[in-house]
Amino acid sequence: MVVSAIKNIKNNPEMIFREANNSSLCSLIISLWIFYPDICTYVFRSFVCQEIEGEQYLLADMTMVCWQDQHFKYAMSIALPAFVFLVVGVPAFFFKVLKTNDNLIK
């Protein structure tokens, strides 16, 4: 079996890249499927605040005052882009791929 695989690779060297590309894509999709709920949870936790004694604190880190210096910078530079690209962008990308290949799926 190994000998026939080596012969196939010698006769068709681009097959290596095709198979590596397919397995990489498969690994990426499975990883996203596994980690997507956790990623969404962490992104949403960045925006959940709780009021304590008239002051809003970040529920994930009660030492951080909501929408003040440190939290505002974090929310705008990391959490908001993560929301746009990961929480919204990943499902939108896969929806577009599915709609584009609709004729192949049926």
* 79: CB partners within 8 A, 6+ apart: 43, 46, 47
- What is the predicted pLDDT for the residue at 8? 52
Residue extents of the structural domains in the chain: 2-105
Global pTM value: 0.67
pLDDT per 10-residue tile (average), the chain, 106 residues: 51 51 76 91 94 94 93 94 94 86 76
pLDDT at 17: 46
CB 79 within 8 A of CB 47: yes
| One-character DSSP codes across 15-71 | HHHHHHHHHHHHHHHHHHHHHHHHHHHHHHHTT-EEEETTEEEETTEEEEETTSHHH
- Write down the pLDDT at residue 25: 74
Q: Which two tokens stand for residue 7?
A: 């012969």
